[in-house]
Structure 1
């Protein structure tokens, strides 16, 4: 019998195993990066949660808004703070990817009920406009499951919490409110 000259080859089984391993690593990486919010850091060139610090000029503007608008609308400041805490708890640290829609829609209804009582008392034009915008978003969330609307609503409450309550737990300003119109 003649000896066959056999070269080392992986064959279809070897390539299949390597393919499964590569796909598993890629899928796990995507899941991990999305879960912990690192995808923005990879694709936008920014580190998650660590943007440029707020300028001194912006800090002074926030202080002025807090001392004027914030002091004259303390009841709204309390509403904003509590609602911002809700969104931090339910959408922060990757939770936006797995929202409890019943919970989000109940909160939207609560926001609408609160605004019904609070809006008539607001005399500051920019704040009134922001609260009307929030009312529109809450109405949309109440009837449609739209993650981007929830994200935007969270950002509005974040910026208003900075403006009205001098919220300091996070230095990012999203620039989505008229009340805190600023350029970092």
Structure 2
């Protein structure tokens, strides 16, 4: 599926109240638009439809802040921020490391307490753990890729993993075989553009 159609299909699913009726899923294939056909591939049983709407809105309006510092912490939160990044890197390793992303059962994973904790941690890092700095843009990307990954997109899961992988390597000195350079805080502009274009559907 092209990236443009994936983003379009997400919005179609939201407008349709996060679901497509049985009739349109299994009948009238000749009168559906391509976008509606793509929307059938998105799970209609999202655990929180209101959150799905919120995340879809966030995805299509995603913008990055302009900051001078690579990373800054809220008062007294540096230790907790680094611990969360380390823990979530380890968790994402179990999901996407070493080629596992393609085999992940996303429909089951998104209901787990670990996945919900990841979502909460990304929000906490952006809102409460980090002060204004470029790493906040990495948390925006993490949130966006997490949402798209819930549609079954394995590449988004890999990008989500790479964000935490690179941050853990830089901030905590985690031993890694490769740094992907995808973060706004410490990566390269070309890799940052690659991630942004992917989220745009290009």
Is contact 1:112–1:139 with CA below 8 Å preserved after alignment?
A: no
Q: Deviations over 1:103-122 (max 9, x none)?
A: 25644432221233332231
- The residue correspondences of 1:1-184 to structure 2 (distance < 5 A) are 73-101=78-106, 102-103=108-109, 106=112, 107-121=114-128, 122-142=130-150, 144-168=151-175, 170-182=176-188
3-state secondary structure, aligned to 2:184: coil
Partner Cα separation in structure 1 for residue 90 and residue 78 of structure 2: 18
Is contact 1:119–1:128 with CA below 8 Å preserved after alignment?
A: yes
Pair member with larger Rg? 1
- Number of residue-to-residue matches in the alignment: 115
Distance change >3 Å, CA 166–CA 104, structure 1 → 2: farther
Q: In structure 1, list runs of 5 or more residues that go unmatched.
A: 1-64
3-state secondary structure, aligned to 1:92: helix
Partner Cα separation in structure 2 for residue 120 and residue 114 of structure 1: 10
How does the TM-score come out when normalised to structure 2?
0.49
Distance change >3 Å, CA 120–CA 93, structure 1 → 2: closer
Is contact 1:105–1:141 with CA below 8 Å preserved after alignment?
A: no
Q: Deviations over 1:33-76 (max 9, x none)?
A: xxxxxxxxxxxxxxxxxxxxxxxxxxxxxxxx89x87x962212
More helix by share: 1
Q: Please, which moves more after superposition, 151-160 or 96-105?
A: 96-105
